[in-house]
Amino acid sequence: MLHRNGGVVFVHNVLRTISWSGKPAVQVAAIDVTARRRAEEEKVQLVRDLKQRVKELTLLRQLSIRLQNEGLTTPALCASTAESLKRAFVHADVTQVRVELDGEEFATDDWRRTDWYLRQELKTRDERTGCIEVCYLEAKPEADEGPFLTEERNLLKSVAAMLWAYLERECAHAEANQSRMLMENAFSGLSEAVLLVNSATGRIISCNESAGRMFGYTTDKLVGAGTEELFEDKKSFQQLYDLYAPTFKREGKFRAEYSFRRRDDSLVHTKITMTSLDDEKGGRAGIVSVLRDITEEKALQIALARYRYIVSASRDPMYFVDDSYTYLVANEAAAEWHARPVEKIVGRTVSDIHGEDRFEGIIKPMLDRCLAGESVEYQSVLKYRGRGRCETAIRYDPCRDDSGRVIGAAVSVRDLSRYQNSQQSEREKQRVVVRLNAPHR
């Protein structure tokens, strides 16, 4: 029935025949069941949504199990992912999926491009490219993104991220195998310094070019020299000997971090691995020492520790957002502002945290400028669950990988109202001091 305000109400009518003033009449009892009707509709929708989430979680679990299969080939993975993804969408009966990688296509049986589709790009560190596309074969009711739900877009992103991680892992394994082969076949090409030392005299029998570069000598100068000459002084040499001798005698190997002196008197910090080299009779013929220069690594660790302390101690929220607008890092201040644990921020998209309207209207344009390589700073009034409405200064700085490609944005948020209040408080303190120091009259 139509309400006076223009809205619609659902009414349950009960009619019965009665006698009124000696004449037949109909008595109508109208009961407003709008709330109950809407609650039932919401219940049906919740059940439908729950079933959909179960389908999505089942797909992600199955994909996770497949990715742990060491014998799985990339083509088989792409083909099975397309079939599984097809069943995970709301309108599975008209859904078709295509996975493309390096120009090779893996599609479900009735795949064809239509006007109703979702697309998610794939790109790996070793420049392998591809995409995942999902199409509906016929028109469906409008939802969040055409006929598709936001959850379906997020599912597509999650599947793409899992495939990307698998391909990256395969790339890393291939690189590791190649590196191992190079080390086995080319002693002179090792980046680590290798010294073969006479265990009786402590003199260097042989070394590689990396050892010469590490200590600032030519290899012929190092060969025949005593290892004690590479230490800061006799005391440091004795300290290392006292440290490794018991373990080395018992196990025939020793690992530690230690500093040595270069020819120019500067120090080089190393990770040293000492292994016993036995002769045919089982006697100790020498000691193989492999030294890796960690001077820059130590400096980086110190800098990183300081950075982590600064980030964790900061009262201002700080984040790292990747190029899919997903939070990968957040500090405790961010958790406090959003009134949710860090674990509930990390892994969520910016639109999940701030809402789609604010993301599309304010945040995304600024993030896109940053992801294009520009440092961006602006002011905005934002509402946080843990702090309410406050005026903030927000800065985005692009973060790049070793190749110079922008991989995300470092985000810092400053509460301008707190800064203004502190300035006002400081001025109040100064006025109080002036009044206290004023001469009495």
pLDDT tens-digit map of 74-100: 888 888 888 888 888 888 889 999 998
In Å, how far are 82, 124, 213 from 169, measured between CA atoms?
Answer: 21, 10, 33
Residues 80 and 200 placed together within one structural domain of the fold: no
Q: Residue 306: inside a domain, yes or no?
A: no
Given a cut of 50, is residue 437 above it in pLDDT? no
pLDDT at 180: 62
Residues 387 and 357 placed together within one structural domain of the fold: yes
Q: Residue 134: inside a domain, yes or no?
A: yes
Going by pLDDT thresholds of 50, 70 and 90, the confidence category of residue 315 is confident
Of 157, 182, 207, which residue constitutes the final position of a domain?
182
Q: 388, 406, 398, 384: which is closest to 317 by C-alpha?
A: 384
pLDDT at 81: 86
Q: Residue 346: inside a domain, yes or no?
A: yes
- CA pair distance 382, 332, nearest whole angstrom: 18
- CA pair distance 95, 161, nearest whole angstrom: 21
Ramachandran assignment for 218, one of left (phi > 0), alpha (psi -120 to 50 degrees), beta (any other): beta
pLDDT at 429: 45
Question: How many residues appear in the chain?
Answer: 441
Q: What CATH number does residue 371 fall under?
A: 3.30.450.20
Number of neighbours of residue 377 by Cβ within 10 angstroms: 13
Q: For residues 383 and 221, which has the higher predicted lDDT (pLDDT)?
A: 221
Query: With contact defined as beta carbons under 8 Å apart, do 262 and 216 qualify?
Result: yes
pLDDT at 40: 80
Residues 135 and 231 placed together within one structural domain of the fold: no
Residues 221 and 253 placed together within one structural domain of the fold: yes
Within 13 A of 414's CA, how many CA atoms are on the CB side? 10
Q: For residues 308 and 292, which has the higher predicted lDDT (pLDDT)?
A: 292
Residues 164 and 238 placed together within one structural domain of the fold: no
Share of the chain above pLDDT 70, in %: 86
Domain that holds residue 173: 53-182
Given a cut of 80, is residue 418 above it in pLDDT? no
Q: For residues 417 and 228, which has the higher predicted lDDT (pLDDT)?
A: 228
Summary mean pLDDT of the chain: 82
pLDDT at 438: 47
Q: Residue 274: inside a domain, yes or no?
A: yes
Residues 88 and 154 placed together within one structural domain of the fold: yes
Number of neighbours of residue 63 by Cβ within 10 angstroms: 20
Mean pLDDT throughout 114-139?
A: 85
Q: Residue 174: inside a domain, yes or no?
A: yes
pLDDT at 185: 56
Residues 152 and 200 placed together within one structural domain of the fold: no
Going by pLDDT thresholds of 50, 70 and 90, the confidence category of residue 324 is very high
Mean pLDDT throughout 7-27?
A: 91
Mean pLDDT throughout 360-384?
A: 90
Residues 58 and 155 placed together within one structural domain of the fold: yes
Q: What CATH number does residue 65 fall under?
A: 3.30.450.40
Give the helix, strand, coil percentages of the chain, each rounded to 5: 45, 30, 25
Residues 144 and 212 placed together within one structural domain of the fold: no
Residues 81 and 165 placed together within one structural domain of the fold: yes
Q: Residue 440: inside a domain, yes or no?
A: no
Given a cut of 80, is residue 173 above it in pLDDT? no
- CA pair distance 433, 370, nearest whole angstrom: 45
Mean pLDDT throughout 155-175?
A: 81
Pick the range with the lowest mean pLDDT from 23-32, 64-73, 146-155, 204-213.
64-73
- CA pair distance 102, 111, nearest whole angstrom: 19
- CA pair distance 147, 151, nearest whole angstrom: 12
- CA pair distance 334, 315, nearest whole angstrom: 9
Q: 335, 312, 323, 291: which is closest to 409 by C-alpha?
A: 323
Pick the range with the lowest mean pLDDT from 5-9, 41-45, 151-155, 418-422.
418-422
Q: Give pTM, 2 decimals.
A: 0.35
Query: With contact defined as beta carbons under 8 Å apart, do 69 and 81 qualify?
Result: no
Q: Residue 85: inside a domain, yes or no?
A: yes
Q: 216, 229, 206: which is closest to 268 by C-alpha?
A: 216
Residues 340 and 374 placed together within one structural domain of the fold: yes
Residues 265 and 353 placed together within one structural domain of the fold: no
In the chain, the number of structural domains is: 3
Q: Residue 39: inside a domain, yes or no?
A: no
